[in-house]
Amino acid sequence: MPSVDFYDVGDEWAESTPTFEQKTANLKIVGGDADVDNFLKATRSNIQDLEAAVVELKAKAVRDKFEETFIYGDATANPKQFDGLRMLIDTTTASDQVIAMGDTGATLTLNKLDELIDAVKGGKPALLLMSRRSRRKINALIRAAGGMMETDRDKWGNFIQFWDGIPIGVNDWILDTHVLTGGVETATTGGSCSTIYAFQMGEGALSGLTSPGQLQAEPIGSLETKDATRIRIKWYVSLALFSSIKAVALIGVQD
pTM for the full predicted model: 0.89
Q: What is the per-residue pLDDT across 24-36, written as a single tens digit (0 to 9) for each?
A: 889 999 999 999 9
Comparing CA positions, the residue from 67, 59, 60, 65 lying closest to residue 231 is 59
Mean of pLDDT values over 142-151 = 86
Comparing CA positions, the residue from 210, 224, 249 lying closest to residue 85 is 249
Residue-range domain boundaries for the chain = 30-210+236-254
- Check residues 21 and 179 and name the one with the higher pLDDT: 179
Q: What is the per-residue pLDDT across 40-68, written as a single tens digit (0 to 9) for each?
A: 888 876 667 888 889 999 999 999 999 99
Mean of pLDDT values over 206-223 = 91
Residue 212 has pLDDT above 90, yes or no: no
pLDDT computed for residue 45 by the predictor: 67
Mean pLDDT of the chain: 93
The answer to whether the beta carbons of residues 149 and 161 sit under 8 Å apart is yes
How far, in Å, CA of 207 to CA of 243, rounded? 10
Say which residues have a Cβ less than 8 Å from residue 116's Cβ, sequence separation at least 6: 99, 128, 196, 198, 248, 250
pLDDT computed for residue 149 by the predictor: 79
Pairing label, strands 98-100, 247-254: parallel
pLDDT computed for residue 58 by the predictor: 94
First to last CA, the chain: 41
Lowest model confidence (mean pLDDT) among 23-27, 113-117, 151-155: 151-155
